[in-house]
């Protein structure tokens, strides 16, 4: 099973991550739309919107304010150190986040690093290309793809081993 660690939290669990039977407290993705393809997806009320907002609000972590190394951040650092393939999805590559994740301390040429760079400035792209060139086993042009997450996973990632 795929495991995801969100070092800054998330807006709520994904459909397969329900931690309780109380689905009313979970924040449905696309929760501000009442219907899709003509069918009602859920009953929306002021109370449910308040619950969803509170769940999302309480699930976000602002780690730059405390400087602490949270359990999620520690888990991410361990996974990054131990993995063979490293994918950054929807990541902004802010220098402080890269520092927190200890990316510069990875041994050179040991990881297959790829990620999305959709919407990033030319300056940020150049900075990341330089870092990927130092660390990666593929060229920066192959590693950083200017596309959305779905297209990146569908078109550029093989989920088979080998």
Do residues 110 and 138 make contact, with C-beta atoms less than 8 angstroms apart?
no
Q: Where are the domains of the chain?
A: 15-59, 71-156
According to DSSP, the residues that pair with 36 across neighbouring strands are: 39
pTM comes to: 0.67
pLDDT values of the chain reduced to their tens digit, one per residue, 162 residues: 567 777 777 776 666 666 555 555 555 555 555 544 555 445 555 656 777 777 777 777 776 655 677 888 889 899 988 888 888 888 888 888 888 888 888 887 777 888 899 989 988 888 888 887 777 666 767 888 999 988 998 898 887 755
Cα separation, 149 vs 124, in Å, equals: 18
122 to 43, 105, 126, 142, 149: CA distances (angstroms): 44, 25, 6, 16, 19
């Amino acid at each position: 099973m795929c495991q995801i660690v969100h070092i800054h939290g998330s807006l709520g669990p994904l459909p397969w991550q329900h931690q309780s039977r109380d689905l009313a407290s979970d924040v449905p993705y696309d929760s501000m739309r009442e219907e899709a393809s003509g069918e009602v997806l859920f009953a929306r009320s002021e109370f449910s919107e308040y619950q969803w907002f509170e769940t999302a609000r309480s699930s976000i972590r602002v780690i730059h304010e405390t400087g602490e190394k949270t359990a999620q951040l520690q888990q991410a650092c361990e996974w990054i150190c131990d993995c063979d393939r490293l994918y950054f999805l929807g990541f902004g590559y802010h220098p402080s986040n890269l520092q927190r994740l200890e990316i510069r301390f990875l041994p050179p040429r040991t990881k297959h690093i790829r990620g999305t760079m959709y919407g990033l400035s030319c300056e940020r792209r150049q900075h990341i290309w330089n870092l990927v060139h130092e660390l990666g086993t593929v060229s920066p042009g192959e590693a950083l793809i200017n596309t959305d997450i779905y297209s990146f996973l569908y078109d550029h990632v093989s989920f088979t081993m080998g």
